[in-house]
Chain A
Amino acid sequence: MKTILSGLAALCLGATLVTSAWAQEEAHGGHDEANPTHFPIHRPAEMDWSFGGPFGRYDKAQLQRGLKVYKEVCSACHGLRLVSFRTLEELGYSEEQVRALAAEYEVTDGPNADGEMFTRAALPSDHFPSPYPNDEAAAASNNGAAPPDLSLMAKGRTVERGFPRFVFDVFTQYQEGGPDYIHALLTGYDETPPEGMEIPEGTHYNPYFIASKSLAMPKPITDGQVTYDDGAPQTTDQYARDVSAFLMFAAEPHLDERKMIGFRVITFLLLFIGLLWLTKRKVWSGVPH
Chain B
Amino acid sequence: MSGGHTTYTPTTGIGRWFDSRMPLPRLMHDSFVSYPTPRNLNYAYTFGGILSVMLIVQIVTGIVLAMHYTASTLLAFDSVEKIMRDVNSGWLLRYLHSNGASMFFVAVFIHIFRGLYYGSYKAPRELLWILGCIILLLMMAAGFMGYVLPWGQMSFWGATVITGFFTAIPLAGEWVQQLLLGGFAVDNPTLNRFFSLHYLLPFMIAGVVVLHVWALHVTGQTNPTGIEVKSKTDTVPFTPYATVKDALGMVVFFLMYAYFVFYLPNYLGHADNYIVANPLKTPAHIVPEWYFLPFYAILRAITFNIGPIDSKLGGVLAMFGAIAVLFFVPWLDTSKVKSAAYRPWYKLFFWLFVINSIFLGWLGSRPAEGAYVIMSQLSTLYYFGFFLVVMPVLGLVETPRRLPNSITEAVLAKNHGSAAAHPAGAAAAPETKA
Contacts and interface: CB of A to CB of B under 8 A. Distances in A.
Contacts of B375: 19-20, 23
Nearest to A16: B359
B344 A251 contact: no
B247 interface: yes
Given A26-B370, A279-B244, A286 B423 contact: yes
A276 B251 contact: yes
Contact of A173 (B255, B263, B424): B263
The size bracket of the interface on A is: 35 or more
Given A87-B85, A156-B275, A273-B248, A287 B370 contact: no
A287 B39 CA distance: 8
A288 B274 contact: no
A283 B240 contact: yes
Interface in A261-289: 261-263, 265-266, 269-270, 272-273, 276-277, 279-280, 283-284, 286-289
Contacts of A12: 352, 355
Interface in B255-304: 255, 258-259, 261-267, 271-272, 274-275, 284
Given A175-B267, A277-B248, A287 B236 contact: yes
Contacts of B264: 169-170, 173, 175
B78 interface: yes
Contact count band on B: 35 or more
Contacts of B367: 27
Q: Is the interface of A mostly helix, strand, loop or mixed?
A: helix
A258 interface: yes
B372 A27 contact: yes
A84 B86 CA distance: 10
B245 interface: yes
Contacts of A289: 39-41, 236, 411
Contacts of A16: 355, 359
A82 B371 contact: no
A254 B411 CA distance: 51
B419 interface: yes
Contact of B366 (A23, A54, A262, A287): A23
Given A23-B370, A262-B258, A156 B362 contact: no
Contacts of A23: 366, 370-372, 375
A177 B269 CA distance: 13
A155 interface: yes
A288 B362 contact: no
Contact of B91 (A1, A163, A254, A273): A254
A23 B244 CA distance: 47
A45 interface: no
A288 B370 contact: no
A152 interface: yes
Contacts of B272: 156
B93 to A, nearest CB: 12
A178 B355 contact: no
A286 B371 contact: no
A63 B91 CA distance: 21
Listed from nearest, the 3 A-B pairs whose CB atoms lie closest are A262-B262, A156-B274, A23-B371
11 contacts: A8-B348, A54-B263, A170-B267, A175-B264, A175-B265, A269-B251, A270-B255, A272-B251, A276-B251, A280-B245, A283-B241
Interface of B: 39-41, 78, 81, 84-86, 91-92, 95, 236, 240-241, 244-245, 247-248, 251-252, 254-255, 258-259, 261-267, 271-272, 274-275, 284, 344, 347-348, 351-352, 355, 359, 362, 366-367, 369-372, 375, 411-412, 414-415, 418-419, 423-424, 426
